[in-house]
Amino acid sequence: MVFREDGHLSDRALAALAQNEDRFDQLERLEIAEHLAFCDECLQRYTLALEGGNLLVPERSCQKTLWARIRSRALRLAVSRYATAAAAVTLALTVLWGGGGVQISRPVLPEDRPSISRQLTGLTGEISDSLRQTVSGLSDFFDGFRPSQFIEGGNHS
Amino acid sequence: MAVITKERFTELVLQYERLVYTVCFQLVREPAAAEDLTQETFLSAYIHRESMPEGYERQWLSRIAANKAKDHLQSAWNRRTVLPGEEELARGLAPPAEEAVLRRSGEADILRAIRELKEPYRQVCRLCLLEEQSPEEAALALGRPVKTVYTQLSRGKKLLREALERSGRHGIP
């Protein structure tokens, strides 16, 4: 049996798994993976069982390509954030200046109130500051990936 | 939590790559998939490196690896068991065959079939189908994630249907 009556993985199943025995079908392996994904107790038992055995060596190590993928993923995340910020600014400007195609009657402003153009100037200033901060943040972000700081590859310990 | 520098993370990759690959391979049994999942594991680990518990890197990485393997196997299992168009029905437009069989079956038959179910389905089905607990309540009682309980309940019902059909008294229309 793969699971004990109490719902945890059986000793035999864990031993078979750790000793790399190919005795589980696809559904059983899925059930085991689901259980290990949340059960601290069985994960601890499994990692302890692995300590005593021979760990497998991948044919292709991920060390050489991992940093490239991390950079690529980070770039995608940053671009996505930048695109979202840019879209928000474009939408805001469209609504403010274009009126989105809707005619809005402008109320008569009393003399002592700031004009709409002054309010818009203030708003665009805030948007510019926000954009500047985003771009500055992006620059700092990409500074972290300068080639001089890369640590490429490595040997198996 | 300690700050994980790139240098420290590279050390972790060097130290635990074989462990992570072993976990992935032992679960998926395909070398190429296990290599991809190993890389995915470290990619996730790097993205969430701030939540890595110091001193428990081995368990933390093994857990991520098991999760990646689970997602891979789940996806493969769904591709194998869900036919095109079937997915829409499963979302609730039509009652699944499992529900129909369970509704037609006698309480004694269901009770017996649930008792004979293997883990990890028996406890979930007992709580949800016999004691009428919600999957959320069952998840709390069993200490399992809610999503896992939903998955196990769905598979458990399928196993029940098969068991009830095997008994020869209940067929699918």
Q: Who has greater pLDDT, B170 or A75?
A: A75
Q: How far is A82 from chain B (nearest CA, A)?
A: 19
Contact B56, B10 (CB under 8 A): no
- Kindly state whether residue B98 falls inside one of the protein's structural domains: yes
C-alpha–C-alpha distance, residues B116 and B112, integer Å = 6
Using one digit for the tens of pLDDT, what is the confidence trace for A43-66?
999 999 998 778 999 988 887 788
Question: Is the ipTM reported for this complex over the cut 0.85?
Answer: no
Single residue among B60, B81, B102 that ends a domain in this structure: B81
CATH of the domain at B52: 1.10.1740.10
Residue B130 and residue B107 share a domain: yes
pLDDT value, residue A53: 75
How many separate domains does chain B show? 2
Q: Is B5 on the interface with A (CB under 8 A)?
A: no
C-alpha–C-alpha distance, residues B12 and B38, integer Å = 13
Q: Determine whether the interchain pair B73/A29 forms a contact, defined as Cβ–Cβ distance below 8 Å.
A: yes
C-alpha–C-alpha distance, residues A147 and A31, integer Å = 43
Residue B116 and residue B64 share a domain: no
Single residue among B56, B81, B106 that ends a domain in this structure: B81
Residue B146 and residue B110 share a domain: yes
- Kindly state whether residue B171 falls inside one of the protein's structural domains: no
- Kindly state whether residue B91 falls inside one of the protein's structural domains: yes
pTM of the model as a whole:
0.69
- Under the banding of pLDDT at 50, 70 and 90, the label for residue A152 is very low
Q: Is A72 on the interface with B (CB under 8 A)?
A: no
Residue B154 and residue B104 share a domain: yes
- Looking at the DSSP assignment, which residues form a beta bridge with residue B85? none
pLDDT value, residue A81: 79
Token pair 């069989």 in the structure block, residue:
B101
pLDDT value, residue B122: 93
pLDDT value, residue B89: 46
Choose the weakest-confidence range: A25-29, A107-111, A121-125, B15-19.
Answer: A107-111
Query: Residue A127 pLDDT more than 70?
Result: no
Q: What percent of chain A shows pLDDT beyond 90?
A: 27
- The full DSSP string for A58-97 is -SS-SHHHHHHHHHHHHHHHHHHHHHHHHHHHHHHHIIII
Residue B115 and residue B54 share a domain: no
Residue B112 and residue B65 share a domain: no
**Tens place of pLDDT for every residue, chain B, 173 residues?**
567 788 888 889 999 999 999 999 999 999 999 999 999 999 999 988 888 888 889 999 999 999 999 999 998 888 776 655 555 444 444 456 666 666 666 777 888 889 999 999 999 999 998 888 999 999 999 999 999 999 999 999 999 988 888 876 544 44
Domain ranges of chain A: 11-52, 63-149
Residue B71 and residue B96 share a domain: no
Single residue among B27, B61, B81 that ends a domain in this structure: B81
pLDDT value, residue A136: 63
Q: Is A15 on the interface with B (CB under 8 A)?
A: no
Residue B103 and residue B51 share a domain: no
- List Cα–Cα distances, A53 to A3, A17, A115, B28, in angstroms: 22, 11, 77, 18
Between positions 41 and 70 of A, the ones with CB within 8 A of B are: 43-44, 46-47, 50, 55-63, 65-66, 69-70
- Kindly state whether residue B158 falls inside one of the protein's structural domains: yes
The helix (H) or strand (E) run that includes residue A53 is: none
- Kindly state whether residue B115 falls inside one of the protein's structural domains: yes
pLDDT value, residue A147: 47
Residue B15 and residue B76 share a domain: yes
- Best B5, B119, B148 member to test A by mutation, with max A CBs in 10 Å, is B119
C-alpha–C-alpha distance, residues B56 and B52, integer Å = 8
Q: Determine whether the interchain pair A62/B35 forms a contact, defined as Cβ–Cβ distance below 8 Å.
A: yes
pLDDT value, residue B29: 94
CATH of the domain at B135: 1.10.10.10
- Under the banding of pLDDT at 50, 70 and 90, the label for residue A157 is very low
Residue B77 and residue B118 share a domain: no
Residue-number span of the structural domain to which B135 is assigned: 86-166
